[in-house]
Structure 1
Amino acid sequence: MLSSDLFRRALLEMLPQSVLAQDSNLSLTSDNSGHIFYDWLFQCHGFWHNATLIIASFIFVLYLALQAKQSYSKLSYGRSYVIISYYGCLWLVSLLNLAWCSFQAWECTPGKDLAWNLLSLFTTSGMLFLEVSLLAFLLQGNNAGGFEALTRTFVVSGLIVGLDILLKVVYVFGFGIPLFIEGNDHTNSVKWNLWVVHKLLLTAVYGFILFLYHSRWRERLPARPAFYKYVTIMFSLNAIQLFACGLTANGAAFGFWLYCATIVCYHAFYLPLLYITFLADFFQEEGMHLENVYYSEMKDAGFFDADWE
């Protein structure tokens, strides 16, 4: 043992100082990389929070990539401008959401406030644009298509989301309200009151559509059960978020935990839900049989019961 130690010491003395310095730098680099990886995956909100967001968003982007060739063929054959535009927006927002989910550590890293606020602003605004444009398009009826429907849909959605972006920019960069930085911040009453108003508006819109569906004006709405299942899910999610923001604004720690849980659900599962509701039939149905699918859904929903009376 003594001889081996003497041999190792002699060998180190024979090596040039540059080699020893390089080896030391490599060791420091390795330790630093390991520390960064640990912070990226475990710090801020914790492992399960980060892992759920990253895995769910990555799987959906991977699914879109695997289906890209088949989807491109359907888009080329169908030549639906609305579907093409919406599919492109879905791809863009999915990549933004994957980046948002992957860089959660930025939220708790000093000096990354600006980058995190910009990434969060673009990601949440893109997802809101998909929400609003889906409602604006489907409320025109299942047969809406072409440039006219696309223009109406994108103009309405663009105006609403543009106003939302403007207000958020003023709040975050003008007044310094940390809308997108959660941490353990459940004491900023101004911030949570703003989120209460935001969630209240979304809950009211989805609730109004559900009210129309159960009223005598439901024939004016699209007769697709999948659409109303989507509206029901989004109404429930926004109602829970509204409740959570209200509790947090009053200092309840449970409200903050509930709000964080709904944020995870939204960023992890909203885009797949949107795809299933609006695009899955277009890409999965063979040929041009969507009319039969819509007719079957309308019949199951009871829209033709009056014809038998």
Structure 2
Amino acid sequence: MMAYYGLIWIVSVLNLTWCILQAWQCTPTKEFSWNLLSLCTKSGMLFLEVSLISFLLQGNQAGDLEALTRTFVVSGVIVAVDVLLKAVYVFGFGVPMFLDGVGPSNHVKWGLWIVHKLLLAAVYVLILFMYHSKWREMLPAQPAFRNYICVMFSINALSLFSCLLMENGAGFGYWLLSLVTLCYHSLYLPFLYITFLADFFREEDMRLENVYYSEMKDAGFFDADWD
């Protein structure tokens, strides 16, 4: 769990740095640094997103700690493949995937983002379908998890729609994509904490308190209270 907490802090710092250094993408000498920073930031946030999806799909078959531990392998493999493909296209073929100034003429860039957003939206649609099917008992019953899936599907659907607009030369897609990207980078981590991590941390603290109480009781710390 310490590794997961550390990852959240690293992604938070990367995301804050990404928001502050937006001017780098307009500076030709900083293009490589901006691409590297964007790749690390988006990959870190994707890891958090995929890890939570993996946790949801495990349903009630495992405890919280066991389920979260299992997600590292699945999420790591998926994000590693995503990072490798993006790195090849950005640094190998020179596709400006992380430069907002690129217009709709770059069909390769928008085609890649369309595939990326389409896959994520499809996963969220699948989970929403499971909530309304006979497999709904496999998923957590908390309304917060269902709300999270609905919100993330909406974000990815809007991103997909804006990329399709850009692919077809509609300038409105650029403004829509910029708005969705701003909301995603500024609100996703707080939304993730409120929806999932706050309750998990609270339950973990209660579990540790019970463990400490049991150990202190076994050691005789409370014997005087009975006397």
Q: Normalising by structure 2, report the TM-score.
A: 0.85
Q: Which amino acid aligns with 1:217?
A: W
In the alignment, does 2:174 pair up with 1:256?
Answer: yes
In the alignment, does 2:66 pair up with 1:144?
Answer: no
Q: Counterpart of 1:119?
A: 37
Measure the CA separation in 1 of the matches of 2:112 and 2:204: 46
Higher Rg of the two aligned structures: 1
Helix, strand or coil at the partner of 1:288: helix
Q: 1:280 to 1:210 in 2, by over 3 A?
A: same
Q: Over residues 25-83 of structure 1, what are the superposed CA-to-partner deviations in whole Å (9 max), with x where a residue is unaligned?
A: xxxxxxxxxxxxxxxxxxxxxxxxxxxxxxxxxxxxxxxxxxxxxxxxxxxxxxxx3xx
Q: Which amino acid aligns with 1:193?
A: G
Q: Over residues 91-145 of structure 1, what are the superposed CA-to-partner deviations in whole Å (9 max), with x where a residue is unaligned?
A: 1100000000010010101200110000000000000000001111232235524
Measure the CA separation in 2 of the matches of 1:273 and 1:257: 23
Q: 1:286 to 1:219 in 2, by over 3 A?
A: closer
In the alignment, does 2:106 pair up with 1:196?
Answer: no
Q: Counterpart of 2:133?
A: 215
Shift of 1:200: 0.3
Helix, strand or coil at the partner of 1:139: helix
In the alignment, does 2:189 pair up with 1:232?
Answer: no
Q: Over residues 252-296 of structure 1, what are the superposed CA-to-partner deviations in whole Å (9 max), with x where a residue is unaligned?
A: 00011111111101101011111111111234579639xxxxxxx
Shift of 1:211: 0.5
Measure the CA separation in 2 of the matches of 1:272 and 1:239: 21
Instruction: Answer yes or no: is the 8 Å Cα contact 1:137–1:144 preserved in 2.
Output: no
In the alignment, does 2:99 pair up with 1:178?
Answer: no
Q: Counterpart of 1:28?
A: none
Q: 1:159 to 1:264 in 2, by over 3 A?
A: same
Shift of 1:185: 2.2
Alignment of 1:241-280 (within 5 A): 241-280=159-198
Q: Counterpart of 1:106?
A: 24
Q: 1:139 to 1:271 in 2, by over 3 A?
A: same
Identify the match of residue 157 of structure 1 among 75, 82, 96: 75
Q: CA RMSD in A?
A: 1.8
Q: Counterpart of 2:213?
A: none
Helix, strand or coil at the partner of 1:119: helix
Alignment of 1:86-97 (within 5 A): 86-97=4-15
Equivalent residues, number: 206
Runs of 5+ in structure 2 lacking a partner? 208-227
Q: Normalising by structure 1, report the TM-score.
A: 0.63
Instruction: Answer yes or no: is the 8 Å Cα contact 2:43–2:79 preserved in 1.
Output: yes
